[in-house]
């Protein structure tokens, strides 16, 4: 039995540009088979029990298996002139959808997993940063995150200290804002939209809204895929497979503030699909 | 020399790795294999009718088979040092095609949603790994580390990527100690480069020195 709170959330189920006519994309959401297909200029998400609520945003098709508790989270930068929107396609990962989001929020692993790209030894320090659960938007935000990066983006020429903001916008979607090497007044925006197939299997749709007029699309996509695939083998080996929401087996450190807030937020909202509820 | 490349492709990585080990500088052009399937486009097929990656172009020479590219990039000692060794290298190049059709397909299935019989891919992959581990174990007993002869050859580079990436397709390497040692030897070669899913040997790097606190770098 899946909790109503889980059913009433929005989940990404396809890249909008790649949806074809019936049967379209046959996939799974929260353990149930669905088809994502086009009919005329409409996109339909059909499950055994009927059609699901659908919304199109940020290059992707979003579906809600229950009654939407709220609109899909806003990303105003998606409509900002001058940004390039890049859909990166799905990568399947044998892990809890919540662990995929949590990994995206973590900075401390950069020097060890994304060596010489997003981090490098000996620059392993995560500076102090601020985390809050914002009551107005009901989102988790981490701000003033600083980290030394040898190649922060495809467009970065050399090592810089990058500033990040992280935002948990939905139970299985997060967005980060980072220093834009091409445009110091703006942030590059990178989203990770996670489709929960089951509690231990997900498909991850990275998405970007960047200020970069020069890098070819294929290079941008492959840079993002390279980063994410470096994480994949780590994610598939995390134990326990479900994300523990109660303290017990895992000992957090100062650098894990965002993850702790994410877990508390999930627990408070009852968004426990992919979570381990019993203290280990 | 220009390589048409996809960062997650095991076969493209063979060529990037070989070039790095030889000290050859490659110009790479990213092809949107996933999700764009640009390698199947008419444009790309005019370069390579088979619609496969990688493609290596050097002047008028266009190579579309990764094993041929390895031959082209290799210094002579990487091709086998006698007729018998050169022939054994060819044996392993053919074996590397079996790895691609089994472990490679299992990985594409699990990671990029390629269709196919995942159990059959994995079964065939495990058979390959057993063969490889048995061979490498015999080599170890004879005091050797690599697939053919006493030094690395293109056979090692052809086989290494799909073996090292086997866990991406749900096939573990824990049961194959000789493969693990061989993988370590390859990752320790001067000039080695990594790819997503194949990690460098952090322990071979010099011990980190003290660095100034982050706030002083801001």
* Each residue's pLDDT tens digit, B82-120: 999 999 999 999 999 999 999 999 999 999 999 999 999
CATH of the domain at B83: 1.20.1050.10
Tens digits of residue pLDDT in B130-160: 999 999 999 999 999 999 999 999 999 999 9
Q: pLDDT grade, residue B205 (50/70/90)?
A: low
Same domain, yes or no, for B117 and B101? yes
- pLDDT for B171: 98
Query: Which residue from B minimizes the CA distance to A88?
Result: B35
Percentage, residues of chain A above pLDDT 90: 79
What's the rounded Cα separation, in Å, for the pair A132 and A142? 7
pLDDT tens-digit readout, A221-256: 999 999 999 999 899 999 999 999 987 777 888 889
CB contact under 8 A, B6 and A222: yes
* Backbone torsion region of residue A58, taken as left when φ is above 0, otherwise alpha when ψ lies between -120 and 50, otherwise beta: left
Percent of chain B beyond pLDDT 90? 91
Architecture of domain A76-276: Alpha-Beta Complex (3.90)
Residues in chain B with CB shorter than 8 Å from the CB of A230 are: 196-197
Q: ipTM score here?
A: 0.89
Does the pTM exceed 0.90? yes
Contacts of B210 (CB under 8 A, 6+ apart): A122
- Check B113 against A146: CB less than 8 A apart: no
Which CATH number fits the domain that encloses residue B42?
3.40.30.10
B206 or B35: whose pLDDT is higher? B35
Residue B148 included in any domain: yes
Q: Is B201 among the domain residues?
A: no
Q: Are B65 and B34 contained in the same domain?
A: yes
Domain A4-64 has CATH 2.20.25.680: yes
Average pLDDT over residues A2-16: 97
Comparing alpha-carbon positions, the chain A residue that sits nearest to B38 is: A218
**Is A44 within 8 Å of A51 (Cβ atoms)?**
yes
Range of the structural domain that residue B110 is part of: 79-187
Q: Is A106 exposed, middle or buried (0-12, 13-18, 19+ CB in 10 A)?
A: middle
Comparing A134-138, B16-20, B80-84, B138-142, which segment has the lowest mean pLDDT?
A134-138
| Number of folded domains that form chain B | 2
Residues A85-108 pLDDT 10s: 999 999 999 999 999 999 999 999
Domain boundaries, given as residue ranges, for chain A: 4-64, 76-276
Q: How far apart are CA A222 and CA A43, in angstroms?
A: 28
Assigned domain for B197 exists: no
B8 touches chain A (CB under 8 A): yes
Q: Are residues B134 and B55 in the same domain?
A: no
* Residue B213 pLDDT greater than 90, yes or no: no
Among residues B73, B92, B116, the one where a domain terminates is B73
**What integer pLDDT is reported at residue B126 of this predicted model?**
98
Q: Clarify whether residues B162 and B86 are in a common domain.
A: yes
Answer yes or no: do B83 and B69 share one domain: no
Q: Is residue B95 part of a domain?
A: yes
Round to whole Å and give the CA distance between A182 and A186.
9
Q: Closest residue of B to A227, CA-based?
A: B196
Tokens representing A264 are 């508390």
């Amino acid at each position: 039995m899946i909790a109503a709170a889980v059913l009433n959330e929005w989940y990404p189920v396809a890249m909008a540009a790649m949806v074809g006519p019936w049967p379209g994309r046959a996939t799974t959401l929260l353990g149930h088979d669905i088809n994502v297909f086009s009919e005329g200029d409409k996109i339909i998400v059909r499950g055994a029990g009927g059609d699901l609520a659908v919304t199109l945003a940020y290059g992707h098709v979003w579906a809600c298996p229950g009654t939407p508790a709220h609109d899909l989270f806003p990303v105003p930068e998606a409509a900002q002139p001058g940004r390039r929107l890049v859909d990166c396609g799905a990568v399947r990962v044998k892990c809890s959808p919540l662990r995929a989001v949590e990994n995206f929020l973590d900075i401390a692993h950069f020097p060890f997993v994304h060596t010489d790209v997003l981090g490098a030894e000996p620059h392993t320090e995560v500076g102090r940063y601020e985390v809050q659960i914002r009551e107005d938007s009901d989102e988790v935000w981490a701000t003033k995150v600083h980290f030394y990066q040898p190649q922060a983006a495809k467009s970065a020429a050399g090592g810089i200290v990058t500033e990040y903001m992280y935002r948990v916008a939905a139970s299985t979607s997060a967005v980060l804002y980072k220093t834009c090497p091409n445009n110091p007044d703006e942030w590059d925006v990178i989203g990770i939209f996670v489709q929960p197939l089951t509690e231990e299997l997900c498909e991850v749709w990275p998405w970007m809204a960047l200020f970069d007029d020069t890098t070819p699309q294929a290079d941008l996509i492959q840079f993002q895929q390279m980063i994410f695939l470096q994480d994949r083998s780590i994610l598939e080996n995390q134990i326990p497979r479900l994300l523990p929401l109660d303290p017990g087996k895992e000992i957090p450190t100062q650098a894990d503030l965002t993850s702790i807030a994410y877990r508390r937020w999930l627990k408070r909202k009852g968004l426990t699909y992919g979570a381990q509820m019993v203290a280990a | 020399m220009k390589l048409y490349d996809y960062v997650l492709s095991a076969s493209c990585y063979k060529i990037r790795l070989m070039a790095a080990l030889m000290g050859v500088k490659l110009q790479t052009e990213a092809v949107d294999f996933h999700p764009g399937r640009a390698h199947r486009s008419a444009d790309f097929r005019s370069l390579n009718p088979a619609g496969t990656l990688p493609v290596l172009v050097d002047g008028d020479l266009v190579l579309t088979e990764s094993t041929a590219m390895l031959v082209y990039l290799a210094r002579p000692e990487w091709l086998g040092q006698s007729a018998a060794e050169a022939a054994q290298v060819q044996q392993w190049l053919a074996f590397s095609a079996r790895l691609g059709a089994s472990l490679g397909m299992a990985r594409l299935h699990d990671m990029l949603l390629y269709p196919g019989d995942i159990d059959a891919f994995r079964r065939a992959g495990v058979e390959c790994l057993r063969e490889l581990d048995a061979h490498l174990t015999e080599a170890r007993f004879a005091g050797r580390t690599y697939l053919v002869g006493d030094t690395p050859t293109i056979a090692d580079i052809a086989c290494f990527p799909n073996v090292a990436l086997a866990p991406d397709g749900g096939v573990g390497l824990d049961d194959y100690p000789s493969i693990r040692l061989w993988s370590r030897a390859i990752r320790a070669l001067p000039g080695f480069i990594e790819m997503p899913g194949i990690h460098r040997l952090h322990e071979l790097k010099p011990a980190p020195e003290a660095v100034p606190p982050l706030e002083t770098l801001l």
